[in-house]
Amino acid sequence: MKREIAALVLLCAVFVSPPLFAEAHGVFSGTNREAKRHRDMPAILMYHDVMDIQPETDAMRQVIAIRPEHLEEQFRYLEDNGFKTLFVSEFAGLIGSEMPKKSVVITFDDGLTDVYEVVLPLIKKYNIKITVYANPGFNGTNGRMSYAQIKKLHDSGLVEIGAHTMKHANLMLADDDEARAEIRYSKGVLQEIIEAPVTSFAYPFGKFGYREEKLVADEGFRIALAADHSHGKNYRNLLSLPRTNIGEKTSLKEFIRILRGL
């Protein structure tokens, strides 16, 4: 139920929020040249749950979650068509220089057990790199991975771990100290778990403003990800990188269109 509520809130953040909705109409409102420049950049894809869902499953769940078979179809497409996957940190390091042709950035939010149980075998099979934004405040509860599972993901070499606050806090509703603590401790705990630096952050519910960007930067993150693509592939601000949600309702045709930025 909690996950359903989280999905609902996320949906609101991504698809219903009036300002975002209004901005969505401006996805490719720039010049054709600008649109082409953005097309040449990799898309950043955002996934959540990977689970068996049926056609009659509620519509919101179908937007947020994806069936394992459907995810594998997408991974197979990437392999068959020569797409290179980049960690978020690799991608950010390449901004301003030449990006590899046909590349994509794949992210999974919330550090759900689905990622360990279902996605890890698939990324090994297709040699795909992903970045996982985890909430270390849960450690094996609320459908989240345990610390040991997070460490195993990291040790696979195919997963970069990013921070997503301790307990999936809506930072916009937290006071300065609470927001800072959620950001700081999620970074610190995750670094202890994986014994490596955690350099990127994803805003829970995609909720952030200038204060949150500043707090994230103050805590040493160079990169932070939003949860919408209303700015298309405008990657100028590393503290609000846009992402495109992928779920069960995303057809292969739509997936290809997103990859190509059309």
Task: Please report, as ranges, the residues that interact with Zn ion according to CB under 5 A.
Answer: 109-110, 204
CB 16 → Zn ion: shortest distance, Å? 16
Helix axes 176-194, 147-155, angle to 10 degrees: 60
Cβ proximity of 87 and 124 under 8 Å: no
CB 167 → Zn ion: shortest distance, Å? 11
The residue assigned the tokens 């969505």 is 24
Tell me whether residue 43 or residue 163 sits nearer to Zn ion (CB atom). 163
CB 210 → Zn ion: shortest distance, Å? 21
Tell me how far CA of residue 48 lies from CA of 23, 143, 147, 201, 215, in angstroms: 23, 11, 19, 15, 25
CB 10 → Zn ion: shortest distance, Å? 7
The residue assigned the tokens 């849960």 is 138
Among candidate residues 167, 176, 173, 160, the one with its CA nearest the CA of residue 136:
167
Tell me whether residue 109 or residue 160 sits nearer to Zn ion (CB atom). 109
Tell me whether residue 107 or residue 230 sits nearer to Zn ion (CB atom). 107
CB 85 → Zn ion: shortest distance, Å? 21
Tell me how far CA of residue 88 lies from CA of 75, 94, 104, 115, 256, in angstroms: 18, 10, 10, 17, 20
Identify any residues that bridge with 46 across adjacent strands, giving them in sequence order: 107, 245
Which residues touch 96 (CB under 8 Å, ≥6 apart)? none
Among candidate residues 214, 213, 211, 165, the one with its CA nearest the CA of residue 186:
165
Tell me whether residue 41 or residue 163 sits nearer to Zn ion (CB atom). 163
Per DSSP, the three-state class of 41 is coil
Q: Which pairing describes strands 130-134 and 200-202: parallel, antiparallel, or unpaired?
A: unpaired
Nearest residue (beta carbon) to Zn ion = 109
Among candidate residues 116, 106, 171, 107, the one with its CA nearest the CA of residue 143:
116
Tell me whether residue 110 or residue 228 sits nearer to Zn ion (CB atom). 110
Report DSSP letters for 2-18, one per residue. HHHHHHHHHHIIIII-H
CB 21 → Zn ion: shortest distance, Å? 20
CB 164 → Zn ion: shortest distance, Å? 6
Tell me whether residue 83 or residue 138 sits nearer to Zn ion (CB atom). 138
Tell me whether residue 110 or residue 248 sits nearer to Zn ion (CB atom). 110
Tell me whether residue 78 or residue 226 sits nearer to Zn ion (CB atom). 226
CB 27 → Zn ion: shortest distance, Å? 22
